[in-house]
Amino acid sequence: MAMPVVALVGRPNVGKSTLFNRIANERISIVEDTPGVTRDRIYTHAEWLGKQFSMIDTGGITMESQQLNQEIKNQAEIAIEEADVVIMVVDARVGVVDDDETVARILYQSQKPVILAVNKADNLEQRQDIYDFYTLGLGDPLPVSGVHGTGVGDLLDEVVKNFSDDQMIDDDDSIKFSFIGRPNVGKSSLVNAILGENRVIVSNQEGTTRDSVDTSFIDETGQLYTMIDTAGIRKRGKVYENTEKYSVMRALRAIDRSDVVIMVIDGEQGIREQDKRVAGFAHEAGRGVVIAVNKWDIVANKDHKTMQEFEAYIRTEFRYLSYAPIIFVSALKHQRLQQIVELVAAINDNQNRRIQSSLLNEMLLKATAIAPAPTVKTKRLKVYYLTQVATNPPTFIAFVNDPEIFHFSYERFIINQLREMFDFTGTPIKVIARLRK
């Protein structure tokens, strides 16, 4: 399911980043009292009234002639194009200015639902001074305070009213998987090789794939799959073209839509720091992960130990992906491509695996016999029982006497015991400590 996308736009220094952080409930954007600090779009997930959505923070739109301001304007226009709903942010203290009218004109052309948020309405007097903003022709202005949080609930009520039902429902029962990674590691070539036909443009030019491309196919068992090819995610410092920056959003949305993510590494070039960041997107999203080392056919000076040494190298660099299987493939030579599809199917099953509470607590008894719960500050942790509460990824509640002393090392121990007892290959596992009442 592709979550609805909400973009915050407006001229510089109206408080978009502060409002963004308030909605996201965490400080993600840099907040500084200087116009133009937020130069690139920044993305996060948010939820209101049980409805999840992606949110984009943008640099301000302004008509000044400096090159940077033109770049920020282009970025905001791309975000508007990507968004399902736009929040236009204005400043209650300053009132309507020419740049606000410029933004409003751009939004008229977008034909997107627009919610007008009058930010910095921190007191009663400022909340009453919002009526000038009717001149923008964007409907009722809503007074909000990104700093204090007042009015944000009313704003989000209006936002979610504009989500269509088909955005919240996914009727497609196919297994969805995407290829992510740096540009030019061979993602599009793998898609084409698996399909056996050129359905995606393939080029050795970095960034050829500008958009995510969905392709469906059925395997010999009759299982329906949807492959999502994505543009390469490249390091922010090297991202110059607007279309390249736009592709990052597409890649993150592809991860959101995927059941399983294939992290593609260039076998010839090895692992770069950017590979770790890209893989982190999938891990944090709770998706199943396969690590595919592509171009293995052109790795020089291979012997019987090369694959084993490269796998050890991957495990060292991707410690948080210890659960992800590693496969060495070649799109050019069609080596082990069928194994990718088989792994995706198996990991999808593991993502959806449910374990009976009786089996979980049998495992817990054995685990505590192996390693009794630790004592923290003279208080011994007691884990009374485990129960599974969700899938995708498998999520368990551990009922304990004190969640504060449920140390991450013991959490990791329980996760390892779950993996040893049950097949959770390829999927992250979450264990949440709760107080037993």
11 is in an annotated binding site: yes
Query: Which range, 104-113, 129-138, 258-267, 401-410, has the best average confidence (pLDDT)?
Result: 258-267
Q: Is the pLDDT of residue 176 over 50?
A: yes
pLDDT band, very low/low/confident/very high, at 236 (cuts 50, 70, 90):
very low
Determine whether the annotation assigns residue 203 to a binding site. Answer: no
Please report, for residues 42, 244, 372, 384, 435, the alpha-carbon distance to residue 376 in angstroms, rounded to integers and kept in the order given: 39, 49, 13, 17, 16
At 44, is the pLDDT very low, low, confident or very high (cuts 50, 70, 90)? confident
51 or 206, which is more confident: 51
176 carries a ligand binding annotation:
no
**Is 213 marked as binding a ligand?**
no
State mean pLDDT over 219-239: 67
> Is 123 annotated in some ligand binding site?
no
Is 296 marked within a binding site? yes
pLDDT at residue 64, as a whole number: 60
The topology under which CATH files domain 357-435 is GMP Synthetase; Chain A, domain 3 (3.30.300)
> What does the pLDDT average to over 262-281?
85
119 is in an annotated binding site: yes
369 in a labelled binding site: no
Residue ranges covered by each domain of the chain: 5-167, 175-351, 357-435
Q: Tell me: pLDDT of 118 over 50.
A: yes
**What is the fold, at CATH topology level, of the domain defined by 175-351?**
Rossmann fold (3.40.50)
Question: CA–CA separation, 399 vs 431, rounded Å?
Answer: 10
Q: Tell whether residue 231 is among the known ligand binding residues.
A: yes
Are 215 and 198 contacting, i.e. CB atoms less than 8 angstroms apart? no
Query: Does 233 carry a binding-site annotation?
Result: yes
Q: Binding residue per annotation — 376?
A: no
* Residue 192 labeled ligand binder: no
Asked if pLDDT for residue 246 goes beyond 80, the answer is no
Residue 278's pLDDT is 77
Q: Is 61 annotated as a binding residue?
A: yes
Q: Is 112 annotated as a binding residue?
A: no
Please tell me whether 286 is known to bind a ligand.
no
The residues with which 225 forms a beta bridge, in sequence order, are: 175, 217
The most distant pair of C-alpha atoms in the chain lies apart, rounded to whole Å, by: 76
Confirm whether residue 294 is marked as ligand binding. yes
Confidence check: pLDDT of 249 > 80? no
Does 181 show up as a binding residue in the annotation? yes
- Same CATH topology for 5-167 and 175-351? yes
Higher per-residue pLDDT: 150 or 275: 150
- 122 in a labelled binding site: yes
Q: Which CATH class is domain 5-167?
A: alpha beta
Residue 67 has pLDDT above 80, yes or no: no
pTM: 0.67
Judge whether 242 is annotated as a binding position.
no
> d(Cα 81, Cα 374) in Å, to the nearest integer?
53
Cβ–Cβ under 8 Å, residues 361 and 385: yes
Q: What is the pLDDT of residue 66?
A: 58
**Is 184 marked within a binding site?**
yes
Is 211 known as a binding-site position? Answer: no
What are the tens digits of pLDDT across the range 272-327? 877 887 788 888 889 999 999 999 998 878 888 899 999 999 999 999 999 999 99
Alpha-carbon 421 to chain mean position: 30
How confident is the prediction for the chain on average, in pLDDT?
81
Residue 277 annotated as binding site = no
5 is in an annotated binding site: no
57 annotated ligand-binding residue: yes
